[in-house]
Chain A
Amino acid sequence: ELKVEQNPLFLSMQEGKNYTIYCNYSTTSDRLYWYRQDPGKSLESLFVLLSNGAVKQEGRLMASLDTKARLSTLHITAAVHDLSATYFCAVDVQDWGKFQFGAGTQVVVTP
């Protein structure tokens, strides 16, 4: 059974500090996606990682993928309040869009 595990599941961040969210998965896949969800809202695509060693950056967020370790990380630099949300990783299990999602990491950024 495919498993996609995120940790931590809850992350309390202080503004200005750096943090990392981890996404481990149990199948061979080189397609991994990060999404953001605000409370009661839909999912917004953040990053698409399609090969081993892929690194994408947008503002204070940077995502990377290590397919050999079956691990993706989402690094947050100098956290700000606007980054408070739930972050999901998803693995494409059949290479055409059948995703398996992690449980999500709820991020709360406080002053």
Chain B
Amino acid sequence: DGGITQSPKYLFRKEGQNVTLSCEQNLNHDAMYWYRQDPGQGLRLIYYSQIVNDFQKGDIAEGYSVSREKKESFPLTVTSAQKNPTAFYLCASSIGDIQYFGAGTRLSVL
């Protein structure tokens, strides 16, 4: 059963804490992406990776970090430097023309 798995579904962050969002895909896709969605808005690109061990900043990378050590995995860390992290985070992967999205992680600040 192929797809993109994001976990956890809900996440709460305390002040000054780093948190990591998981994204795993078994679609054998080379490219992976992280987006942030705020209420009533479109998706904004945080980071993307076209191949293992390589990634680039998107439009709003400040306060976030990623790694791409395996083709299947592209975790996103929301660092304490991100002062407004409350949002819906979506991971996607692609091969060819279409991006396929995971179910998302909703991050809130305690």
Contacts and interface: CB of A to CB of B under 8 A. Distances in A.
Given A41-B103, A42-B90, A42-B104, A102 B42 contact: yes
Interface string A70-106: 0000000000000000001010100011111111101
A105 to B, nearest CB: 10
A39 to B, nearest CB: 11
Interface residues of B, number: 23
A84 to B, nearest CB: 16
A101 B42 contact: yes
A45 B100 contact: yes
A69 interface: no
B11 to A, nearest CB: 15
Contacts, number: 57
Interface of A: 4, 31, 33, 41-45, 48, 50, 88, 90, 92, 96-104, 106
A49 B78 CA distance: 34
A98 B48 contact: yes
Contact of A99 (B40, B41, B45, B50): B45
Contacts of B35: 101
Interface of B: 31, 33, 35, 40-45, 48, 50, 58, 90, 92, 94, 97-104
Given A42-B90, A42-B103, A96-B50, A103 B42 contact: yes
A43 B4 CA distance: 12
Contacts of A44: 101
Nearest to B58: A98
Contacts of A50: 97
A76 B70 CA distance: 42
